[in-house]
C-alpha cells in the first residue's frame, strides 16, 4: 500500500463499518510489516493511525536478498534467485526468516503494536519446490519464539491461504507448530488471507478440523 492510500483506506473502511453495522461486524484493520531497520517508521505510522484500528496483524514478508529487500512469498523462482542463491541454502533462508520473526515479536513498536503474528510459517510457501532437508531443523528456534509469543500475551493468525498454494498445501502455521502453540495456550484467530471475494472463508472447515485435532474446541462458528 502506498503511504498516501493509507488514510483513504481507513476512512473508507470506517464508512463501510458504519453502513453495514446492523448486518456485518466489520473491523478496520491492517497487516503491518516488520522490516528490520524500519522500526521507527512503523512505530510512527502506528502512533498516527493505531487508535483508528480495531485489529491488526504483524507480518514478516521481506528479507534482505539479492539487490535489496525481497519478498519470501512471491514465486518459487524468485525465492531461489532472490534468497536461496545469495544465502547459499534453503536452510539459511529459513534461519534468516525465523530470526526476523523473533525480532518482530520482541521489537518495540509502541502501544499500538499488533498483538497477533500472521502466517508464521510463510517461509514454507514454496516448500514442495524448496524443501528443508530436515523439516524439524528449526524446531528449537520455533519453540523459542512460541515461548516469546506466550510470554508477551500475543496471538497467532491461523491463515488458511497456505492450504491453497500449490507448492505449500499446508496451513500457516504448520500443524506441528500449531500443536506446540496449543500446548502453550496461545490463542488462534482464523484468517482466509484472501485477496478476492471468492476466497472469503476459504479453508474454514479445515482450520476448524486442525484446531480440533490439536486439542482446541473452536469457540465460534462462521
Ligand atoms: Fe501477509
Helix (H, G, I), strand (E, B) or coil at 117: strand
pLDDT higher than 90, residue 153: yes
Percentage of the chain modeled with pLDDT above 70: 99
In angstroms, how far is CA 47 from the centroid of its own chain? 21
The alpha carbon of 54 and the centre of ligand 1 are apart by a number of angstroms equal to 18
120 C-alpha vs ligand 1 centroid, how far in Å?
Answer: 9
pLDDT of residue 221: 53
Distance in Å, CA 193 to ligand 1 centroid: 7
Tell me, what's the pLDDT at 222?
47
CA 68 / ligand 1 centre spacing (Å): 19
How far does the centroid of ligand 1 lie from the alpha carbon of residue 26, in Å? 19
Q: Which long-range contacts (CB under 8 A, 24 or more apart) does 134-141 make?
A: 136/176, 137/91, 137/94, 138/94, 138/95, 138/98, 141/95, 141/98, 141/99, 141/102
Question: Is 80 buried (19+), middle (13-18) or exposed (0-12) by CB count in 10 A?
Answer: middle
Computed over every residue of the chain, the mean pLDDT equals 96
Contact 127/161 with Cβ under 8 angstroms?
A: no
Which tens digits make up the pLDDT trace of 1-38? 999 999 999 999 999 999 999 999 999 999 999 999 99
- % of residues, the chain, pLDDT over 90: 94
For ligand 1, the distance from its centroid to the CA atom of residue 136, given in whole angstroms, is 23
Predicted pLDDT at 171: 97
Distance 75 CA to ligand 1 centre (A): 14
Q: What mean pLDDT comes out for the span 143-169?
A: 98
**Beta-carbon neighbours within 5 Å of ion ligand 1:** 59
Ligand 1 centroid, distance to 3 Cα (angstroms):
17
Query: 83: closest CA among 42, 126, 120?
Result: 126
Q: For residue 216, what pLDDT band results from cuts at 50, 70 and 90?
A: confident
Confidence grade of residue 219 (pLDDT, cut at 50, 70, 90): confident
Give the Cα separation of 113 and 46 in Å (integer): 7
Q: What separation in Å is there between the alpha carbon of 59 and the centre of ligand 1?
A: 6
CA of 31 to the centre of ligand 1 (A): 7
pLDDT at residue 203, as a whole number: 97
Confidence (pTM): 0.94
C-alpha 57 – ligand 1 centre gap (Å): 9
Tens-digit pLDDT profile for residues 77-124: 999 999 999 999 999 999 999 999 999 999 999 999 999 999 999 999
Give the mean model confidence (pLDDT) for residues 197-214.
94
Q: Give the pLDDT mean for 178-195.
A: 95
Q: What is the pLDDT of residue 63?
A: 98
**Number of C-alpha atoms within 13 angstroms, CB side, residue 130?**
24
Ligand 1 centroid distance, CA of 183 (Å) = 25
Amino acid at each position: 500500500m502506498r503511504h498516501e492510500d493509507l488514510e483513504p483506506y481507513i476512512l473508507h473502511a470506517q464508512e463501510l463499518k458504519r453502513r453495514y453495522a446492523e448486518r456485518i461486524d466489520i473491523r478496520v484493520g491492517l497487516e503491518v510489516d516488520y522490516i528490520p531497520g524500519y522500526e521507527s517508521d512503523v512505530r510512527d505510522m502506528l502512533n498516527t493511525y493505531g487508535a483508528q484500528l480495531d485489529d491488526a496483524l504483524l507480518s514478516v514478508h521481506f528479507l534482505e536478498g539479492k539487490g535489496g529487500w525481497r519478498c519470501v512469498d512471491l514465486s518459487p523462482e524468485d525465492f531461489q534467485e532472490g534468497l536461496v542463491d545469495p544465502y547459499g541454502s534453503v536452510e539459511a533462508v529459513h534461519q534468516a526468516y525465523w530470526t526476523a520473526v523473533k525480532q518482530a515479536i520482541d521489537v518495540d513498536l509502541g502501544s499500538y503494536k499488533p498483538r497477533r503474528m500472521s502466517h508464521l510459517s510463510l517461509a514454507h510457501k514454496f516448500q514442495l519446490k524448496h524443501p528443508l532437508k530436515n523439516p524439524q531443523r528449526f524446531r528449537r528456534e520455533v519453540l523459542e519464539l512460541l515461548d516469546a509469543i506466550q510470554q508477551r500475551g500475543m496471538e497467532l493468525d491461523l491463515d488458511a491461504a497456505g492450504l491453497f498454494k500449490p507448492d505449500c498445501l499446508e496451513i500457516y502455521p504448520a500443524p506441528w507448530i500449531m500443536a506446540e502453540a496449543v500446548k502453550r495456550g496461545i490463542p488462534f484467530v482464523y484468517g482466509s488471507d484472501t485477496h478476492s471475494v471468492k476466497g472469503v472463508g476459504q479453508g474454514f472447515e479445515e482450520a476448524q478440523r486442525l484446531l480440533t485435532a490439536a486439542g482446541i474446541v473452536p469457540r465460534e462458528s462462521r
